[in-house]
Amino acid sequence: MSRKQKGSSNRQKARTKLARLHARIANIRQDALHKLTTNLARRFHTIGIEDLNVRGMMANRHLARSIVDMSFFEFRRQLEYKAERRGGLVVVADHWYSSSKTCSVCGSIQD
């Protein structure tokens, strides 16, 4: 589209084609997200997720685009309302909680 002359009908056609492509990709991503959250809400009564520091992860320029494409907030929102509809529960763990240092048997925190 950047190579087309401004105001031309070919530029308008390229713009329409590009907009249709972006809309198609957005619909594919939205469909996959809906299918994933519905599947999780159906299969599990209690779902545990971690509250991630998305702003901090966005600082990594190598991962930023992938993180934006995943749309973590929308995933969490959909999972919460779909689990609530089915009578399930979504447990959100704080991102500062030291789960890897906590003993699974006795619950004591190891340094």
Q: Cα–Cα distance between 25 and 12 in angstroms, integer? A: 20
Look at residue 111 in the predicted model and tell me its pLDDT: 66
8 Å CB contact between 97 and 53:
no
pLDDT by residue (tens digit) across 19-77?
999 999 999 999 999 999 999 999 999 999 888 888 888 888 888 888 888 888 899 99
Q: Can you say how many angstroms the Cα of residue 11 is from the centroid of all Cα atoms in its chain?
A: 33
8 Å CB contact between 1 and 11:
yes
pLDDT by residue (tens digit) across 51-60?
888 888 888 8
Report the range out of 13-17, 97-101, 107-111 with the highest average pLDDT: 13-17
pTM higher than 0.85 for the full model?
no
Look at residue 19 in the predicted model and tell me its pLDDT: 96
Q: Cα–Cα distance between 76 and 60 in angstroms, integer? A: 22
DSSP codes of every residue in 38-97:
HHHHHH-SEEEEE---HHHHHT-TTTHHHHHHH-HHHHHHHHHHHHHHTT-EEEEE-TT-
